[in-house]
Amino acid sequence: MENLFELLVAAFLVIAGIFGIVGSFGLIKLNDPMSRLHAPTKATTLGVGGVLLASMLHAAAFEEHFSYHELMITLFLFLTAPITANFIAKVHIHRQETRETMPEAGGDDHWATHDTPEDEERRHAAHNPPAEE
Amino acid sequence: MIESAATFAFACFALAMLMNLWKVVTAPDVADRILALDTMFINAIALMVLYGMALGTEIFFEAAMIIAMLGFVSTVAYARFILRGNIIE
């Protein structure tokens, strides 16, 4: 039993290390900013998840107590990683792309993140027709 | 067995951090730089948890939690500053 837990912890650690290094290698290797965003946000988050799982298992199996700290860190990381990825993608969209270089948004309009104040007023007016006198 | 696995994980995350540092220096645009810095934060959390595991103490979990929060807030603040020229409007 002891041996099985040892094997599991070691396996989680090795998997986590590989994921972590793949994430950062993708960051320097991929050559398009939007595909570069994929590697760290997914692979590195998984790598940290593996380390935290290994740490939890280690505490439960060898130190005879259950550790909740890792659960909190995992939860926090998995909640915030998509938000930061969204913000970084938005920075890229606003600095490197224009309305013309973006893929088709569907319908006959552009993506809402490129709205100017006039566009917002137009949208608002379209959704709220003026009341009849 | 766990010792050698932990050493492997330490090496992997240390190398990953060096790669991130390289990317911070050579990034073509500020979005890539924010991304590399955010990845450095996440790798730092992994290294801290590994170190806490190797020493057998729990004191590093609080530090890892604080680093996670600081990383999230600073990434969002940086991105927001680039997007709007202001952090709290």
Q: Which residues of B touch A27 (CB under 8 A)?
A: 19-20, 23, 35-36, 39
Q: What is the DSSP letter of A107?
A: T
Nearest chain A Cα distance for residue B48, angstroms: 10
Angle at A30 between CA A33 and CA A88, to 5 degrees: 30
Largest CA distance in chain B: 53
Please, what is the average pLDDT of chain B?
A: 89
The answer to whether A91 contacts B50, with C-beta atoms less than 8 Å apart, is: no
Closest CA to B6 of B61, B50, B70: B50
Cβ(B87)–Cβ(B73) below 8 Å = no
Q: Which residues of B touch A80 (CB under 8 A)?
A: 68, 72
The answer to whether B62 contacts A69, with C-beta atoms less than 8 Å apart, is: yes
Residue B66 to residue B36: CA distance in whole angstroms: 19
**pTM of the predicted model as reported, rounded to 2 decimal places:** 0.85
Quick: pLDDT tens for A38-62: 888 888 888 999 999 888 888 888 8
Quick: pLDDT tens for B23-66: 999 988 888 899 999 999 999 999 999 998 888 888 888 898 99
Residue B21 has pLDDT above 90, yes or no: yes
DSSP labels, A62-106: HSSS---HHHHHHHHHHHHHHHHHHHHHHHHHHHH--TTTSPP-S
Cβ(A20)–Cβ(B11) below 8 Å = no
CATH number for the domain formed by residue range(s) B2-84: 1.10.287
Mean pLDDT by 10 residues, chain A (133 residues): 85 92 90 84 89 88 80 89 90 81 74 78 79 64
